[in-house]
Structure 1
Amino acid sequence: MSYRRGNGSSTAARVIAVVADIMAFIIGLWILMYLLDANRGNDLVDFVQHSARWLAGWSYDLFTFDAAWARVVCGYGLAAVVYLFVGHAVAGRIRH
């Protein structure tokens, strides 16, 4: 049986990167649904909106642009970028 050193840390890094990707995907999906004016009465749209709002709670109302779409794109987009950057940076540090 061959034991490869770092296998556990590689798995942990992969899990962290995947979780960060999923979080960013949910936020990006909400941005897309908002821009395409998705039906807010739909259960899937409602779930994605509430999940994205929870994930981006610290940034969703950070900017005060006049246009609502710009606030959504910048506020939620910032959270998605931060999750991707931090998640993959942490995964990279764990991997090495």
Structure 2
Amino acid sequence: MADVFHALDDPTRRAILDELADRDGQTLFEICGRLTTKRGLSLTRQAISQHLGVLEAAGLVHTEKRGRAKFHYFDPAPLADIARRWPVTRKA
């Protein structure tokens, strides 16, 4: 669970998750392009790849290889686990 909190601590990684939530199944090239055009982030592919590695280690992203392409998918399950562990109770 600490991996999830570490992964979410970085604004670039949160932006990557937002992009995958908007359009799942993107390649590294597509993610880089969307981060540049939609969010004004100009990072190298290597930097984005390292961020994706952190997200994958935390279980927030999984990948699927098709031919030479590697597609990245958002996996919200670790976030649901956190929500179940600490349910929000509201007092009126």
TM class by smaller structure: 0.3 to 0.5
* Bigger relative contact order (CA 8 A; separation at least 6): 1
The structure in which a higher percent of residues are helix is: 1
TM-score, normalized by length of structure 2?
0.39
**TM-score in terms of structure 1 length:** 0.38
Greater strand proportion: 2
Structure of greater Rg: 1
